[in-house]
């Protein structure tokens, strides 16, 4: 990560993963200012998930999960009304050490980078086995789940797992749990567990409907 102090963008339902692109529509004045300042500087924004709480309370005062992902703005369009359409490219996980006092209307945090182990090289057999299980679950899952993302056999293991973690229909806390896993293998195995539970729940729900 290029900077240890970054602006952070707390969201209720979005988690960013390394290597993945995230389109965002920025409309609140404070975050429009945040984007403008980022574009003038290092183009970095830290995405963090808000913990459950009262959505009526401003996110400036709501607690956030301490682990997030920093993204670089790779594309931005400033609209006529001052809003932005931007695309963030996830770069690296981080842990928030402390939030810094600021005169800006958005939050600033001092962070430390969280590197992930190179599971692909250290555990190639385990990664291959986990990927096969993951692809099997997606193939056998409900149509609504398997159609959400297309899997290419040539897709790198890390890109596959992180893309599924970000784009599949998961609960925000499930995505956060996946982000916090230490490395590709742990993230892949956790994703398998989540999808197996969802597949089981879906099948059980259909059986219950038949019984009724």
> Tell me, what CATH number does 61's domain have?
2.30.130.40
The tally of domains found in the chain comes to: 2
What per-residue confidence (pLDDT) applies to 40?
Answer: 96
Task: Check whether residue 196 and residue 127 sit in a common domain.
Answer: yes
Task: Check whether residue 108 and residue 127 sit in a common domain.
Answer: no
Q: Which residue has the higher pLDDT, 108 or 208?
A: 108
Tell me the average pLDDT across 23-29: 96
Q: Which residue has the higher pLDDT, 146 or 153?
A: 153
Task: Check whether residue 73 and residue 125 sit in a common domain.
Answer: no
What per-residue confidence (pLDDT) applies to 61?
Answer: 73
Task: Check whether residue 136 and residue 159 sit in a common domain.
Answer: yes
Task: Check whether residue 15 and residue 39 sit in a common domain.
Answer: yes
Q: Which of 87, 70, 73 is nearest to 8 (CA)?
A: 70
List the CATH number of the domain containing 166: 1.20.58
Q: Range with the lowest mean pLDDT among 12-26, 102-116, 192-206?
A: 192-206
Give the pLDDT band of residue 120 (cuts 50, 70, 90).
low
Q: Last residue of a domain, which of 114, 134, 155?
A: 114
Task: Check whether residue 20 and residue 78 sit in a common domain.
Answer: yes
Q: Last residue of a domain, which of 114, 140, 162?
A: 114
Radius of gyration for the chain, computed over Cα atoms and rounded to the nearest angstrom: 19
Maximum mean pLDDT: which of 55-64, 76-85, 144-153: 76-85
Q: Range with the lowest mean pLDDT among 37-41, 60-64, 94-98?
A: 60-64
Give the pLDDT band of residue 147 (cuts 50, 70, 90).
low
**Residue 56: domain span:** 5-114
Tell me the average pLDDT across 102-131: 88
Q: Last residue of a domain, which of 59, 79, 114?
A: 114
Q: Please, are residues 46 and 9 in contact by the beta-carbon 8 Å criterion? A: yes
Task: Check whether residue 191 and residue 151 sit in a common domain.
Answer: yes
pTM equals 0.87
Q: Which residue has the higher pLDDT, 209 or 171?
A: 171
Task: Check whether residue 66 and residue 144 sit in a common domain.
Answer: no
Q: Which residue has the higher pLDDT, 199 or 181?
A: 181
What per-residue confidence (pLDDT) applies to 210?
Answer: 45
Q: Give every CB contact of residue 35 below 8 A, 6+ residues apart in sequence.
A: 26, 45, 73, 76, 84, 86
Task: Check whether residue 103 and residue 130 sit in a common domain.
Answer: no
Q: HSE of 130 in the Cβ direction (CA atoms, 13 Å)?
A: 22
Tell me the average pLDDT across 3-29: 94
Task: Check whether residue 12 and residue 104 sit in a common domain.
Answer: yes
What per-residue confidence (pLDDT) applies to 204?
Answer: 47
Question: How many Å apart are CA 101 and CA 39, to the nearest integer?
Answer: 21
Task: Check whether residue 79 and residue 127 sit in a common domain.
Answer: no
What per-residue confidence (pLDDT) applies to 32?
Answer: 97
What per-residue confidence (pLDDT) applies to 119?
Answer: 66
Query: Does residue 142 have a pLDDT over 80?
Result: no
Query: Does residue 209 have a pLDDT over 60?
Result: no
Task: Check whether residue 16 and residue 110 sit in a common domain.
Answer: yes
């Amino acid at each position: 990560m290029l900077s240890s102090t970054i602006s952070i963008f707390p969201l209720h339902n979005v988690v960013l993963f390394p290597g993945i692109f995230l389109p965002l529509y920025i409309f609140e004045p404070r975050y429009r200012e945040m984007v403008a300042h980022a574009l003038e500087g290092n183009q970095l924004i830290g995405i963090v998930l808000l913990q459950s709480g009262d959505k009526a309370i401003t996110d400036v005062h709501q607690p956030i999960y301490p682990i997030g992902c920093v993204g670089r703005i790779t594309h931005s369009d400033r609209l006529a009304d001052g809003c932005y359409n931007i695309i963030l490219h996830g770069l690296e996980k981080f842990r928030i050490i402390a939030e810094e006092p600021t005169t800006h209307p958005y939050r600033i945090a001092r962070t430390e980078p969280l590197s992930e182990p190179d599971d692909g090289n250290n555990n190639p057999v385990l990664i291959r086995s986990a990927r096969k299980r993951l692809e099997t679950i997606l193939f056998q899952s409900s149509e609504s789940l398997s159609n959400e993302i297309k899997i290419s056999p040539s897709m790198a293991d890390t890109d596959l797992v992180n893309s599924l973690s970000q784009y599949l229909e998961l609960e925000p806390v499930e995505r956060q749990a996946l982000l916090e896993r230490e490395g590709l293998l742990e993230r892949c195995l956790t994703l398998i567990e989540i999808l197996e539970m969802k597949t089981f729940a879906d099948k059980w729900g259909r059986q219950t409907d038949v019984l009724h």
